[in-house]
Chain A
Amino acid sequence: MRPALTIVEPGFAATIQDRGREGWQRFGVPVSGALDPEALAAANILAGNAPDSAAIEVMGAGLRLRVDAESVTLAVAGCAAPVRIERERAPSSAEPLRSFMAHRGEVLRFPPPKNGAVYYIAAAGGFAISAVLGSRSTYTRARLGGIEGRVLRAGDAIALMRGTAPGAPPLLLDARFDAPEKLRVMRGPNADYFTERAFDSLLGAAYTVAPASDRMGLRLEGTALDRAKPGEVSPQGTTAGALQVPPDGQPILLLPDRQTTGGYPRIATVIGADIAAAGRLAAGMAVRFAEVGREEAVAVLKARAEWLAALASCLRPAPDHAITAERLLGENLIGGVTSGEI
């Protein structure tokens, strides 16, 4: 049998994602890809993979995986809590942002995302999944990519490229992937559809993420955004982070599975440096918006890209003693973790 991670319990809406499909939007194919591409990169870097490799995106509670390979090196990054490893003798835990080895027959119980929407599980060597239109990302609406284009379900065997973990020592990464309190935006392409009061509302009040949010968009609830003129725009190409406003005045922040075109006017766009952070927002969280100009947006995008490119050089050897649940409970896991900014 092929080495694999087998889904014992699928949990909520776990999918395979990489950086997404670029170049197909003119044919109506959404980009898809990781909600938090920075956390995806961190998980992959810890596992020794290329940063954009496919990983398991976890969005809710209940995921359990069984290791059906001799051994595998795994890494978890994002809004994550320690992973519980069930085995006959001495169950243990593995911290996020620290690679760890799991062995045949062990069952890994993954916690729900902590203080955010999403985290990633990468396996050293990667998953053996076919690319569709250049990407392994799952787009469920058109049943593209991943495992049969759908969310993971019990019994799925996610094939591993490697059947045995390399003997490399475990690594850890000092970085944080926190859900944001504030997102920076630029004025949107259809700003003339809105009153100045609408901009005051958007930039003044907090908006709450509604439960109806999904990988297409974050539905935000707060002060309604007044229109200066009614109606829709002629359908236009959409972009990542766009804040589109349906007639009820409540903005929707467009995420990777967004439709490629849309007719709702867009009041603002979350800047590229904050797109990954936007993907971390979970239902019930509040977020504020702050306006920046294009030059500042490009400057902070450059800083963010440099930080991401330097992540691999921030890897450090992890202490080699076993991490037990008892020890974890006795330790302050947060102390000593830096922001990761350079």
Chain B
Amino acid sequence: MPAEDRVVAPPSLLNPEVYDCGESAILVDFGAGYSKSISLAILQISERLHGSHLEGYRESIPAVTSLTISYDPLVLSKERLVAAIESACATPLGTGAASRLWIIPCVYGGASGPDLGDIARAARLSETEAAGLHASETYVVSMLGFLPGFAYLVELPERLRVPRRATPRARIPAGSIAIAADMTAIYPLESPGGWHLIGWTPVPMWDMARRDEPLLRPGDRVRFRAIDAGESETLRARVAEGWMPKPEDVA
């Protein structure tokens, strides 16, 4: 892992604004714009709160630049909750827990990724080059949202960045790999959506019959590996038999 990936925000950078979302939740806002170090710090603070057994804490939703925390104000005062967050911000965050690295197989282009041609033309690349560029980056899961198990993977290469489609599609198949703005994602379920479809993976993002958590968790890393239709069919059959990729733990 490159050294810069391990840099975590120094405490001086973490000076969040706190806003009420009603009396039972707060938004902790770490400022505008994505920064890898802030994003990782948000995820670590969220994990700390989850593990803290702070009475009255309910749950938190990490986002790219903020953390939304719900709590029971009849049990936990806002002052105590904010103090716990400030203490989490002030304590050196270290390098955090081991981050998992997933290699996700992807069939690029064709019927699996009908928008790859447009994306490649806009970037003045061939489809193969555009797919290669997408597969060259190691992405970080900055947050989950939109749908159960929908992971927002940040830092799409600059040349592939395009705004969302003007008209969203009514039905995007589960497993579709898509891009929009500076992010890429994998649709865990069939759903409507406005992102550009560039590929498809046979790996299920959340098989709820078998697992009580999604494949990708906030803070995980993801790389895509181009596969052809034949390998896709083989993997699809293995998935049906219960196969799942295993993460490579990165200390």
Contact = CB atoms under 8 A, between A and B. Distances in A.
Interface of A: 22-30, 132-133, 141-144, 186-190, 234-242, 259-262, 266, 269-272, 294, 297-298, 301-302, 305
Contacts of A25: 59, 61
Interface string B76-107: 00100000000000000000000000000000
B23 A297 contact: yes
Contact of B208 (A22, A144, A297): A144
A239 B25 CA distance: 7
Nearest to B214: A27
Contact of A26 (B25, B34, B61, B78): B61
Given A24-B148, A133-B212, A239-B25, 19 more contacts: A25-B61, A26-B46, A26-B60, A26-B144, A27-B213, A27-B214, A28-B149, A141-B147, A234-B66, A237-B61, A237-B67, A237-B68, A237-B145, A240-B22, A259-B145, A259-B147, A269-B20, A269-B25, A272-B24
B27 interface: yes
A120 to B, nearest CB: 23
Contacts of A269: 20-22, 25
Contacts of A27: 144, 148-149, 206, 213-214, 217
Contacts of A143: 189
6 contacts: A23-B59, A143-B189, A189-B29, A234-B66, A237-B61, A238-B68
Nearest to B151: A28
A305 B147 contact: no
A148 to B, nearest CB: 12
Contact of B63 (A236, A301, A305): A236
Interface string B133-163: 0000000000111111110100000000000
B11 interface: no
Interface string B55-71: 00011111111111010
B147 A28 contact: yes
A102 to B, nearest CB: 34
A336 B191 CA distance: 50
Interface residues on B, range: 35 or more
Contacts of B67: 237
Contacts of B27: 189, 236-237
A133 B208 contact: yes
Mostly, the A contact residues are: mixed
A242 B65 CA distance: 19
Interface centre among A28, A30, A259, A298 (most CB of B within 10 A): A28
A242 B217 CA distance: 26
Nearest to B189: A142
Contacts of B58: 22-23
B148 A186 contact: no
Contacts of A188: 19, 21
Contacts of B1: none
Given A26-B46, A260-B145, A187 B20 contact: yes
B208 A26 contact: no
Contacts of B251: none
B73 interface: yes
Contact of A271 (B23, B149, B214): B23
A239 B74 contact: no
Contacts of A28: 144-150, 214
B61 A261 contact: yes
Contact of A236 (B22, B66, B74, B212): B66
A23 B64 CA distance: 19
Interface centre among A235, A272, A301 (most CB of B within 10 A): A235
B61 A260 contact: yes
B32 interface: yes
B199 interface: no
The 5 closest A-B pairs by CB, nearest first: A237-B68, A237-B61, A261-B145, A189-B19, A269-B22
B218 interface: yes
